Amino acid sequence: MVNQDDKIDKRAKLKLRKIVRDLSKKRARHTEFISVYIPAGYNIQGIIDQISGELGTSRNIKTTSTRKNVTGALEKILQTLRLYKKTPERGLALFSGNVSEREGQMDFRIWEIEPPEEIRLKMYKCDQVFYLEPLTEQLENKVVYGLLVLDRREANLAFLKGKHIVPIMRLDSMVPGKFRVGGQSAQRFARTIEGMAKDWYKKVGDRATENFNPHQISGLIVGGPGPTKEDFVNGDFLSTDLKKKILAVKNIGYTDEYGLKELVERSEDVLKESEAMIEKKVMEKLLTMLATRKEMIAKGEQKVREALAAGAVSELIISENISDDVFDELTDKAYETGADVIIVTNKTQEGKQIESLGNVAAILRYALA
């Protein structure tokens, strides 16, 4: 069952997708379009002061038309910023410029975007196009993974969301390092250390089980130097469901934040394969139902449009290769009727399969007459 918060998040991303698509088509004649990114928590007055400074500088631009277009865009941004008492919770992106297609005419527009995910950078950019990369990154299919790096000294847990590593916690152990003791004392000491190591693994496993819900992550990747990671994974320290989620165990040199980055770098092959599996599973479900219960499937624009109008669609599966107008129409209707939306890229075998069905299909709640 789809979580309602997930639907809200997907709808926000679809809305952002449409804005980004429209902005990407805009072109200025010269370096006249302004893009401003304000990170979450940043003092908005500081941005107002910066833009005021840029406005003063822009009045020295020699070319009359460029000067008018840049100052006009900056004035629009200042007017908008002064309406905010503080930066929105997830940050703010502003885009402004003269978008008139006829030279010499003025049509200053401004777009203000409070994105579905946090903005992490502060940027002012003046160019012939709007700078959209930070927003397009938010539109990527962000499968969430669990990351765990450990040895006998420490452990770090984190989520991998898209390209971003989000630390959860660091744990420090009390397991002693190398020692020099002879005879029976050495044997007793070795047994004591092994007991402490098992207690340490249990502590790490308990924290991992608490933080990595196996139903909410697409996989768990474990890493560390030496044999510790294998001892941990092969032992009985993780819940059964979480253990089934392990995608890979990687040998890395560190167990700190750098170790988390190294783990991601060494796991690119696994991550790509796992992300591809999401589209694969959706298409497998669709094609299986098409073969066994075809009355529960609608395919092609017209049939899907009719099913959406009847409120019969449970899951709308749509290619990103479909025309913008049709994409907007069908996805808007899907969310109006409570259907889930799955966007399939055009870079995979699954993308080719949905194209063969007319670029859009739907799994129905009930059969239509």
Burial class (CB in 10 A: 0-12, 13-18, 19+), 152: buried
Q: Where are the domains of the chain?
A: 23-139, 144-266, 277-364
Which CATH class, in words, describes the domain spanning 23-139? alpha beta
Fold for 277-364, please state it: 60s Ribosomal Protein L30; Chain: A; (3.30.1330)
pLDDT the model gives residue 278 = 72
pLDDT the model gives residue 2 = 43
- Is 50 exceeded by the pLDDT of residue 104? yes
Which amino acid is present at 46?
G
Secondary structure string (H, E, C) spanning 167-225: EEEEEECCCCCCCCCCHHHHHHHHHHHHHHHHHHHHHHHHHHHHHCCCCCCCCEEEEEC
Each residue of 12-62: pLDDT tens digit?
888 898 899 999 999 999 999 999 999 999 999 999 999 999 999 999 999
- Please name the residues in contact with 158: beta carbons below 8 A apart, sequence gap of 6 or more: 146, 147, 165, 166, 167, 168, 260
Q: What's the CA gap between 195 and 295, in Å, rounded?
A: 60
pLDDT the model gives residue 155 = 96
Furthest C-alpha separation in the chain: 93
- Helices 4-24 and 324-336 cross at an angle (nearest 10°) of 160
Which amino acid is present at 330?
L
Q: How much of the chain, in percent, has pLDDT values that exceed 90?
A: 67
pLDDT band for position 340 (50/70/90)?
confident
- Among the ranges given (210-224, 264-278, 288-302, 315-329), the one the predictor scored with the smallest mean pLDDT: 264-278
Residue 351: closest CA among 319, 326, 322, 324: 319
Burial class (CB in 10 A: 0-12, 13-18, 19+), 362: buried
Beta-sheet pairing, 360-364 with 313-319 = antiparallel
Fold for 144-266, please state it: Nucleotidyltransferase; domain 5 (3.30.420)
Q: Which residues are 125's β-sheet partners?
A: 35
pTM for this entry: 0.64
